[in-house]
Amino acid sequence: MTTSPTDTASASAFSSSDTAALERETEVQAEEQVTFEQIWNETHRKVSSGWIRQNSFKRICLQFPDDYLPHSNAISVSLKESLAPEDIKVFIMADTTYGSCCVDEIAAAHVEADSVIHFGNACQSKASRLPVLYMYPWLFLDAPVMMEKLASALQTECREREVCVYLDIGYHHLRELLGGASSLYKQLNEALQPKELVLEVYPLAEEDADAASSTQRQPASASASLWVPITSALPISP
């Protein structure tokens, strides 16, 4: 459904079937709930408001997966406050037409939105009508514990192999730690001791995807013989 935080009268107009809603509710209950701080911090706020101002958007839809909904109104209020005194309309989208990973341009069209900010897991399928900004959560990573587990489980397997470690949604912010003597890259290299190590994020940001063909990392990641995902469940098996 698509609603403004201050106007819920038309909420039922864009709702999907009760069966689909119940199925999604069951899935959500099995997952660990995200906190407000994980999905909306000062960086999220600055990036979102800056993107809106730079492009002069006036009607913005915020699309949330079901497990983010308890925080949706607070995020909407925070965003509008950061954009004040500009006349900006912010709408909350939930119970979307497609899976939550896809941008729901159909629902956004009902309120004549000129842009969408998409929260949570994203397949980044190409939006045809509206510009989209993807907002990923910031999840905590206990790096020393993870390095210990990776070394114990995979160090022997990684030696003399080209290894690609990719950071899933929730850990993209760790890209800022790629430089310096104590960088994430250095820690992973010491823990896994591969022949060659490539560190990537998934899914790629649009600007990263566009630039991928011109980077030196692409051939290495494409030829890697072992892929290690860093996700919220921290699966470390090859």
Residue 9 has which token pair?
Answer: 């009268």
Element (H, E) at 56: none
| pLDDT interval class at 219 (50, 70, 90) | very low
Note the pLDDT of residue 124: 78
The answer on pLDDT for 30 being more than 50 is no
pTM (two decimals): 0.74
Domain residues of the chain, as ranges?
2-135, 143-230
For residue 225, the number of C-alpha atoms closer than 13 Å in the C-beta half-sphere is 9
Which amino acid appears at position 106 of this protein?
A: I
Q: What is the mean pLDDT of residues 89-104?
A: 85
Check residue 4 and give its pLDDT. Answer: 55
Q: What pLDDT, on the 0 to 100 scale, is given for residue 33? A: 81
15 neighbors 123 (Cβ within 8 angstroms) = no
Q: What is the pLDDT of residues 103-139, one digit of tens each?
A: 999 999 999 999 999 999 888 777 678 999 999 999 9
| pLDDT reported for residue 48 | 98
Q: Which two tokens stand for residue 190?
A: 């010491």
Which residues, in sequence order, are CB contacts of 59 under 8 Å at separation 6+? Answer: 88, 89, 91, 111, 112, 113, 114, 115
The more confidently predicted of residues 126 and 101 is 101
How is residue 139 written in tokens?
């999840």
Mean pLDDT over each residue of the chain, to the nearest integer = 79
Residue 9 has pLDDT above 50, yes or no: no
More confident residue, 234 or 186: 186
CATH 1.10.645.10 holds for 2-135: no
Among 67-71, 72-76, 88-92, 218-222, whose mean pLDDT is lowest?
218-222
